[in-house]
């Protein structure tokens, strides 16, 4: 349990759908707040076409600010999402520590997101992952829409496992299942992860849930029970894929951390400082964020019964 890691994706998945552009200086401020909270695994951005996702146009500059100016704390891991070879080149040039890349199990979502079929994308992503590993970078590969798709509905499990098998055959052992459309439910989560571990007990598992239908935290606990180590979440519950049918926010970082800390987990994260940054995000967008703990307050300081 002590190995559980929170992978903060608010700067990428949280912001990519927001129409109000966040200045680079404000992003730097939020990253500094996350670092001050003890968050050591932060996704700073994605290397995509700025015309399609304007919010990510300054990702190179944000990485460079921290990685090339001596402002990156020891032990911090800055991840970046890449969709193609050009994005990988950009990420390598500005100091990305861990490359996140993935394939959608939904052919419809894949074409909307990347312009490629699932089959075309798998080969490309595996080649990119191997190139990143050759450059001695950490990688994480994902299967998006793994629990269902807003366009296609239920995704056959054999489609998920065929992609997993190709990842494993390529020597890739850090695999995430992403609930892009928010269709996941706990029993399904446990079942899919259990099957992956049956295929390779040494694989490092990650999860990415959206709270579209209110099951985000429940799915996180199902993943925890199944042996997942890395949990992606976004400050305030921001986010949503612009290329899915019903976009909804991620699991809220403060809510997840608060819940886990009540069980004496992820105690290296300062929840108060994390909430300070989340409040500033809400102030910037001038609205209440979806997260619960910002509204209800923390129970961490209450004595356990």
Q: Which residues are catalytic?
A: 241
297-to-6, 30, 213, 238 alpha-carbon distances in Å: 20, 21, 23, 18
302-to-35, 38, 47, 268, 278 alpha-carbon distances in Å: 26, 22, 43, 18, 22
Helix runs in 21-58, H state only: 24-36
Sequence-distant (6+) residues with CB within 8 A of 217 are 211, 251, 255, 256, 259
Reported in sequence order, the residue ranges of 48-124 that DSSP labels E, i.e. its strands, are 77-82, 98-104
- Written as six digits, the tokens of 231 are 């949990």
Of 230, 270, 237, 266, whose CA–CA distance to 252 is shortest?
Answer: 237
């Amino acid at each position: 349990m002590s190995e559980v890691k929170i992978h903060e994706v608010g700067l990428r998945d949280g912001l990519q759908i927001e129409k109000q552009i966040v200045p680079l200086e404000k992003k730097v401020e939020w990253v500094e707040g996350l670092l001050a909270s003890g968050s050591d695994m932060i996704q700073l951005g994605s290397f995509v076409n700025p015309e399609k996702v304007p919010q990510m146009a300054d990702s190179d500059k944000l990485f460079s600010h921290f990685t090339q100016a001596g402002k990156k704390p020891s032990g911090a891991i800055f991840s970046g999402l890449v969709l193609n070879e050009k994005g990988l080149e950009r990420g390598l040039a500005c100091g990305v520590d861990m490359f996140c890349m993935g394939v959608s199990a939904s052919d419809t979502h894949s074409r909307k997101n990347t312009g490629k079929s699932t089959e075309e994308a798998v080969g490309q992503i595996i080649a990119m992952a191997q190139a990143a590993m050759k450059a001695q970078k950490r990688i994480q590969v994902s299967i998006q829409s793994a629990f269902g798709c807003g366009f296609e509905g239920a995704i056959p499990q054999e489609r998920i496992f065929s992609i997993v098998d190709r990842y494993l055959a390529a020597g890739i052992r850090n695999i995430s299942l992403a609930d892009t459309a928010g269709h996941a439910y706990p029993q399904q989560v446990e079942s899919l992860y259990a099957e992956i571990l049956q295929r390779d007990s040494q694989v490092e598992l990650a999860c990415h849930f959206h709270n579209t239908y209110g099951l985000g935290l429940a799915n996180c606990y199902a993943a925890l029970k199944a042996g997942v180590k890395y949990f992606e979440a976004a400050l305030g519950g921001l986010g949503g894929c612009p290329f899915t049918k019903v976009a909804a926010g991620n699991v809220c970082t403060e809510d997840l951390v608060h819940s886990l800390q009540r069980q004496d987990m992820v105690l290296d994260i300062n929840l108060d400082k994390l909430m300070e940054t989340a409040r500033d995000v809400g102030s910037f967008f001038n609205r209440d964020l979806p997260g619960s703990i910002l509204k209800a307050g923390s129970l961490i300081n209450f004595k356990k019964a």
